[in-house]
Amino acid sequence: GVTNMAAICAICKSQFTKVLPYYGMDMDMIVSVHQLVSNAIILTGQTSDDDDDESEDDAA
């Protein structure tokens, strides 16, 4: 089934977050297209956030 709905702009996203609870859906079901793209982009040499946390723990 459908788990998320993508909105093209922030205005659309803000309007749907007001309507979705009326139909019994969680407000976090709507995401922005910009958020989807930013989560999908992987840059060469990029490390995950988990790697950064581990290096900070080692330094402490």
pLDDT in tens, 15-36: 888 888 888 888 888 888 988 8
Query: What stretches of the chain show up as alpha helix (H) in DSSP?
Result: 10-19, 33-40, 49-59
Write out the two tokens for 16.
């749907």
pLDDT tens digits, 46-58: 677 665 555 566 6
Question: What local confidence, expressed as pLDDT, does residue 30 receive?
Answer: 87
Residue 30: count other Cβ atoms within 10 Å of its Cβ. 20
Where exactly are the structural domains of the chain? 5-59
- What distance in Å separates the CA atoms of residue 60 and residue 3, rounded to the nearest whole number? 40
Whether the predicted model's global pTM rises above the 0.85 cut: no
Which residue has tokens 């982009």? 41
